Amino acid sequence: MVQITELAHTELRRLLAENSARPQQGIRLRLDDGGLLKMTIDVPHAGDSVIRRDNVPVLIVDARLAPSLVPRVLDFQNSRDSSTRHGFTLGWRTPPEI
């Protein structure tokens, strides 16, 4: 399962509230017809991977996409500086130190 940082969790919850999402809805991470990652507000479907907080879906990962995101971390970069990129990023997990 993809991991999410606290910053990403906070931004996902903000987006859900801002868009008046129903309690059973979360942000779905899916592939569009062109193979690009997209986020939409949706409800979980059978086979989806769901990250919940307080028993409410926050991130829903499409069943076909979930296995490829296991080594990934969803983060959010919030920058007030216009020269720095901001938004969601999908990075790699840091391997544990031995």
Digit-coded pLDDT (tens) for 29-79 = 999 999 999 999 999 999 999 999 989 999 999 998 999 999 999 999 976
> In this structure, is residue 67 part of a structural domain?
yes
Rounded Cα distance between 71 and 58, Å, is 19
Single-letter amino acid code for the residue at 72:
R
Give the model's pLDDT for residue 67: 92
Phi, psi angle pair for 78, to nearest 5°: -110, 115
- Say how many domains are in the chain: 1
Q: Looking at per-residue confidence, does 98 or 55 come out higher?
A: 55
> In this structure, is residue 63 part of a structural domain?
yes
Give the model's pLDDT for residue 1: 86
> In this structure, is residue 97 part of a structural domain?
no
Residues of the domain holding 44: 3-92
pTM: 0.86
Domain of residue 69, CATH code: 2.60.300.12
> In this structure, is residue 77 part of a structural domain?
yes
